[in-house]
């Protein structure tokens, strides 16, 4: 039996979200500043200092050439009565030592550049988990808290139900109706109900469209965990080739449920993977249609990576971070099956 949530203060949810948002922004700022400092230090050694000592070496080599020329000229003048070439010899020795110093400095800079490169890679590897956490779980938590807060505000704004509606509610659901609360009326739909929203994919509208990939990644982000719960129950079919195509028809509205369905591949199209992704709310005037490659979609959208080998007939309906329904090839709703299996023992214990 489902139990209601005990909410003590709606304001606390908003306060928690504000503090979480402040933490994310402060942590991201610290990471960005640290990245900037590390990059500046590495660039100063590997580029600026390397270029400086390379230029300085060439300049000092020119000084050696000039010192040798001066010495040769002095020795020629010595034969004509010049007392000594000691100054010119000392100048040549100083120039040679300066060249050796420049070569040593260049080698030191190169050695430090290699060392810094390794340290930078270690630093990035150690800070990447935090950055991923800020962009993934923290971002999803912020979105979820905003939805919770909005839902509670909407609930508080509702007027009290009338006696007639209370009586209708207490009479219970009609025969054959679903009593699931998550997803509302959508959870009462069958697989055929969801499939009726599948649009026709005309050949001229199904050219490859890389722009759809980014939009799909945005719409499906965060739904990985709910999908993973059902992916194993779907089983496995023939694995589509990376270059095969997925037909897509989606709207601009991020709240529209998306159907991820695998149908029989077209016999006339060897590139067809059999996968269709489409908005479950028909909006033919605003649908963006096209095709994306299976391999690129699996790499960009973790939800699809879990499902790409699902057998023909599989259907999963996703709305933001929620799975509204999941059907196996026989049309059985997996979410209901799972809930029934996990809830049976609890029902017996409570009897």
* Residues 48-68 pLDDT 10s: 999 999 999 999 999 999 999
What's the confidence (pLDDT) of residue 213? 85
What's the confidence (pLDDT) of residue 61? 94
Q: Evaluate if residue 46 carries a pLDDT over 70.
A: yes
For residues 228 and 303, give the distance between their C-alpha atoms in angstroms, rounded to a whole number.
8
Do the beta carbons of residue 257 and residue 337 sit within 8 Å? no
6-20, 22-36, 83-97: which range is least confident on average? 6-20
196 and 133 in a common domain: no
317 and 195 in a common domain: yes
What one-character-per-residue DSSP string does 84-100 give?
Answer: --HHHHHHHHHHHHHHH
292 and 199 in a common domain: yes
210 and 125 in a common domain: no
Number of separate domains in the chain: 2
For residues 269 and 83, give the distance between their C-alpha atoms in angstroms, rounded to a whole number.
97
Q: Evaluate if residue 3 carries a pLDDT over 90.
A: no
123 and 229 in a common domain: no
pLDDT band at 304 (very low <50, low <70, confident <90, very high): confident
SS3 at position 326: strand
pLDDT digits (tens, 9 = 90+) for 172-191: 444 333 333 334 445 568 88
User: Could you say which of 138, 165, 199 is where a domain stops?
Assistant: 138
pLDDT digits (tens, 9 = 90+) for 79-98: 666 668 888 899 999 999 99
219 and 104 in a common domain: no
pLDDT band at 206 (very low <50, low <70, confident <90, very high): low
78-82, 258-262, 316-320, 324-328: which range is least confident on average? 78-82
Q: Please indicate, yes or no, if residue 54 is contained in any of the structural domains.
A: yes
Provide, rounded to the nearest whole percent, the portion of the chain with pLDDT above 90: 33
Q: Which two tokens stand for residue 4?
A: 């209601």
191 and 320 in a common domain: yes
Which domain does 221 fall in, by range?
186-343
232 and 84 in a common domain: no
H-helix or E-strand spanning residue 327: strand 322-327
pLDDT band at 196 (very low <50, low <70, confident <90, very high): confident
Q: Please indicate, yes or no, if residue 172 is contained in any of the structural domains.
A: no
Do the beta carbons of residue 262 and residue 237 sit within 8 Å? yes
Do the beta carbons of residue 315 and residue 259 sit within 8 Å? yes
What's the confidence (pLDDT) of residue 325? 87
What's the confidence (pLDDT) of residue 337? 56
Question: Around 236, how many Cα atoms within 13 Å sit in the side-chain half-sphere?
Answer: 5
134 and 210 in a common domain: no
User: How would you classify the pairing of strands 272-279 and 315-319?
Assistant: unpaired
What's the confidence (pLDDT) of residue 75? 83
pTM confidence score: 0.46
What's the confidence (pLDDT) of residue 281? 78
- In sequence order, the β-bridge partners of residue 277 are 248, 260
Q: Evaluate if residue 286 carries a pLDDT over 60.
A: yes
């Amino acid at each position: 039996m489902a139990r209601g949530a005990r909410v003590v203060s709606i304001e606390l949810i908003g306060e928690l979200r504000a503090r979480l948002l402040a933490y994310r922004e402060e942590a991201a700022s610290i990471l960005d500043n640290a990245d900037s400092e590390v990059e500046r230090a590495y660039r100063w050694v590997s580029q600026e200092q390397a270029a400086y000592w390379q230029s300085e070496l060439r300049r000092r080599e020119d000084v050696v050439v000039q010192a040798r020329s001066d010495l040769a000229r002095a020795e020629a003048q010595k034969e004509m009565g010049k007392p000594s070439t000691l100054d010119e010899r000392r100048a040549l020795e100083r120039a040679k030592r300066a060249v050796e110093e420049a070569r040593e400095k260049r080698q030191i800079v190169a050695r430090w550049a290699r060392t810094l490169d390794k340290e930078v890679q270690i630093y990035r590897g150690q800070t990447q988990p935090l950055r991923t956490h800020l962009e993934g779980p923290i971002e999803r938590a912020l979105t979820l808290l905003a939805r919770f807060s909005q839902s509670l505000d909407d609930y508080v704004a509702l007027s009290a139900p009338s006696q007639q509606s209370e009586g209708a509610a207490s009479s219970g659901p009609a025969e054959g109706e679903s009593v699931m609360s998550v997803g509302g009326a959508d959870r009462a739909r069958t697989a055929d109900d969801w499939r009726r929203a599948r649009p026709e994919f005309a050949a001229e509208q199904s050219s490859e469209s890389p722009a759809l990939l980014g939009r799909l990644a945005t719409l499906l982000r965060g739904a990985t965990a709910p999908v993973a719960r059902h992916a194993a129950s779907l089983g496995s079919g023939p694995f589509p080739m990376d270059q095969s195509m997925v037909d897509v028809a989606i709207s601009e509205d991020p709240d529209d449920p998306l159907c991820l369905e695998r149908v029989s591949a077209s016999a006339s199209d060897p590139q067809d993977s059999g996968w269709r992704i489409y908005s479950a709310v028909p909006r033919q005037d605003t649908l963006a249609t096209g095709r994306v490659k299976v391999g690129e979609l699996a790499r960009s959208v973790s939800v699809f990576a879990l499902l790409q080998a699902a057998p023909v007939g599989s259907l999963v309906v996703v709305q933001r971070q929620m799975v509204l329904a999941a059907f196996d090839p026989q049309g059985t709703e997996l979410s209901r099956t799972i809930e029934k299996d996990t809830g049976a023992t609890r029902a017996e214990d409570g009897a």
